[in-house]
Amino acid sequence: MKYTPHMMRIEPRVSGPVVAALMLAVTVLAALFAGWTPLIFSIVIVFLFAGPHNWLEARYFLTRLPGRFGKLRGFFLFSALGIVALTASFAVLPWLGERLHWEAATWTTALAVWNTLLVGWIAVLVQWRMRQSPRRDWGWTLPVAFLVIGLNWLYPFVVSIAVVYLHPLVALWLLDRELLRSRPTWRPAYHACLAALPLLLAVLWWRLWDAPPLPGDTELFRAIVQHAGAQFLTGVSSHALVATHTFLEMVHYAVWIIAIPLVGLRIAPWKLSNVPLTKHSTAWRRIIVAVLVAGLGISAVLWLGFLADYSTTRYIYFTVALVHVLAEVPFLLRAL
């Protein structure tokens, strides 16, 4: 590594093809383990990477916040309010359902309402960003949003499952935008690496689409199978569904833990010289330091929780982790 003293930047002496080869190797190994033992692989990667990848994601997003919000103040304020409101409402739905003894039809309606709010929030953010920059022509997204809302009221659970499978791919999109911004010469190698993703998914489905269902003899195994949508996507092997979801999750973790820090941070994560907010306000610097320290503490608590009660901790984590799923939306829109 080559260090620039005044910025403590990490400038790797590697080329785009080398990084792409590393990512490709991780992707192939992820496909092998996901296909071979999806339940165990899912348990292991969530235990190891759930906390660290969220911390690194938050650290990266801090570098993409402007030093002065200016015309983006309203955009980020609406984004933050939406993230908090959607996460809180999603977390409280199971409690309400249990307390009020909801029937299946009520659950379906509640989920459709929540999905509608989610799509509406995203649509507003897209239109907001389009109006902030006249060169953006995203008018087509509005009819698409109404189409998705309509489909959601017909098949709310399918739309929710689609979010589960599409979310890991957002990290790949963000990585592409980061490469365009800071490492454009690496993009061809990255795109070649991306071409392997659908091929590996096709191999997984070719091998597993009619495989025997995975065992659901423990609460944890049932939760993993249900998270992959096996109870709604009937006619498809739960082995194929869990393998696909676990594979995509591992790719997602690899992007945030390996690729984006290497490409986008290029600085020791505990150094804050590349966070614009810290240069204009001591108060903001203290807040950011506190957030990052708290994030490290939460990661440690997650590990302890997984060791003490993996099933409960996993459930809590995937509920609260909706924050980082939603946070990717405004940052992706700003990067486009």
Domain ranges of the chain: 2-335
Higher per-residue confidence, 231 vs 251: 251
Helix axis angle, 196-208 relative to 238-254, nearest 10°?
A: 160
Per the model's pLDDT, the better-predicted residue between 88 and 215 turns out to be 88
Dihedral (C-alpha) 166, 127, 73, 335: value to the nearest 10 degrees? 50
Q: What is the pLDDT of residue 13?
A: 56
| DSSP state string for 182-235 | H-GGGHHHHHHHHTHHHHHHHHHHHHHTTSPPPP--SHHHHHHHHHTTTTTSTT
Q: Cα 101–103–107 angle (5° rounding)?
A: 100
Q: Which two tokens stand for residue 87?
A: 């996460």
**Tell me, what's the pLDDT at 37?**
93
Question: According to the model, what pLDDT value does residue 2 have?
Answer: 41
Nearest to 194 by CA among 58, 19, 15, 14: 19
Average pLDDT, the chain: 87
Q: Considering only CA atoms, which of 137, 126, 91 is closest in space to residue 110?
A: 91
> Higher confidence at residue 66 or residue 85?
85
3-state class (DSSP) for residue 327: helix
Predicted TM-score of the model (pTM): 0.88
User: Virtual CA dihedral for 139, 145, 148, 150, nearest 10 degrees?
Assistant: -110
DSSP of 35-65: HH-HHHHHHHHHHHHHHHHHHHHHHHHHHHS
Q: What pLDDT score does 245 carry?
A: 95
Whole-number pLDDT of residue 246: 96
Q: Is the pLDDT of residue 6 over 70?
A: no
pLDDT bin (cut points 50, 70, 90) of residue 15 is low
Q: How confident is the model at residue 31 (pLDDT cuts 50, 70, 90)?
A: very high
